[in-house]
Amino acid sequence: MNEGPTRGGARGPGTPTMRGGEGGRSGGPSSALLTPGSWLWVVTAGGTALALGFGTLAAIWFLQRPLAIMVLALTIAAALAPAVHWVERRLPRSLAVVAVYLVLALAAALLGVLVFPTVVDQAERMAVRTPELADQAQQWLRERLPVSDASLIDQLLSQVVGLSSSLVALPLEISSSILDIVLIVFLSLYTLIAAPQTRETFLSVVYERSQAKVNHVLDRLVHTMGGYVRAAAITGVIIGTLNYIGLLVIGVNFPLVLAILSAVFEFIPFIGPFIAGALMVLVAFLQAPIKALVTLVFVIGMQQVEGNLVAPNVMHPQTCISPLTTLFAIFAGFSVGGVLGALIAVPVAAALRVLVVELLLPSLRRGKGGEGEEAQ
């Protein structure tokens, strides 16, 4: 007798359950379609992700110059962080940062007074004599090579002449962007001053159990981004000084310009030292073949010194990014943003490497190890 009301849904203990089920079904097809894993949910999430991705890329493209300036400022601040920490033992943070920048400014001014006039003079003479030297090289090649080969070498020499002219004009182009340089310096200065407060604010929004890990990742980011700049600068100073002394002893023209170019090319792994050495041998060859041979022996010796002595003691302890990754990052940055893109490519690649190694890979390993470890 109780089966009728129960089946009718008017009475009985099963009524709330049935009503709940009917209510869930009456909530609609739309709620069922938007459940995770449904086709509508996948399409909506995918479209949102694509829109956010393309929007982010468009914002980066339109703001690439301000972002590049900011990345350069952060990289310089990271490179100077150890010096600031050392001075901070004796002075307050703000005074320590100002003291480090004053020392750098005085060193740059002294170097400019001593070196800049000679660099300008040698660069001007090199630019004036470049067409004459190219004509001499072309004439020498025509006398010793077939016409077809000589014409091919002529084209290569014309490209070398254009490259050398661009390299000579590069410091002038960089110095013309005085406003950007001043902005980068002040942004890096303020970044160093506000670094402790910024880190504390960032850690305050992180779970307490994760603060040690996040703090470790931040330390790795600062060390890696600034380490490559410090190592390349120290290596450039050492190699440039040794090249200047060697070229001066050999008697190669424009020794200071060539030495400075060799120091700058230290920021480009693999091919940078070879380009600098080729320029030295070429300039020496246009003076005398015997002098070019001596210069070639000197360049080979310098590369051995750099690879076996300088790099293991200076470059490797400071940076954790591989030379192949550095080379790819420089080429990619130059193709996307020119000289400014090449300057920020290595710090960005170093930061991405830290995030992948410290965050992404451990997360993937935990996921592969099992749900229990991931939940923990």
Contact of 322 with 350, CB cutoff 8 Å: no
Band (pLDDT 50/70/90 cuts) for residue 267 is confident
Q: Residue 376: CB partners within 8 Å, gap ≥ 6?
A: none
Average pLDDT of 39-66? 78
Q: Which domain holds residue 173?
A: 66-360
Residue 52 belongs to some domain of the structure: no
> Residue 364 has which token pair?
């993937």
Give the chain's domain count.
Answer: 1
Residue 26 belongs to some domain of the structure: no
% of the chain at pLDDT higher than 70: 70
Residue 266 belongs to some domain of the structure: yes
Residue 376 belongs to some domain of the structure: no
What's the pLDDT score for residue 303? 87
Distances (CA, A) of 218 to 89, 195, 213, 222: 21, 11, 9, 6
Average pLDDT of 160-166? 53
Residue 185 belongs to some domain of the structure: yes
Average pLDDT of 213-228? 86
Residue 324 belongs to some domain of the structure: yes
Residue 290 belongs to some domain of the structure: yes
> Residue 152 has which token pair?
């091919």
Structure-model confidence comparison of residues 112 and 256, the more confident one: 256
- Indicate the burial class of 156 (C-beta count within 10 angstroms; 0-12, 13-18, 19 or more): exposed
Q: Mean pLDDT: which of 11-25, 68-82, 330-344 is highest?
A: 68-82
> Residue 276 has which token pair?
């600098």
How far apart (Å, rounded) are the C-alpha atoms in residues 131 and 161? 8
Q: Return the DSSP state at 11.
A: S
How far apart (Å, rounded) are the C-alpha atoms in residues 137 and 155? 12
What's the pLDDT score for residue 141? 60
How far apart (Å, rounded) are the C-alpha atoms in residues 86 and 25? 68
Q: Residue 298: CB partners within 8 Å, gap ≥ 6?
A: 246, 247, 250, 280
What's the pLDDT score for residue 297? 93
Contact of 321 with 228, CB cutoff 8 Å: yes
pLDDT at 26 over 50: no
Residue 228 belongs to some domain of the structure: yes
What's the pLDDT score for residue 133? 64
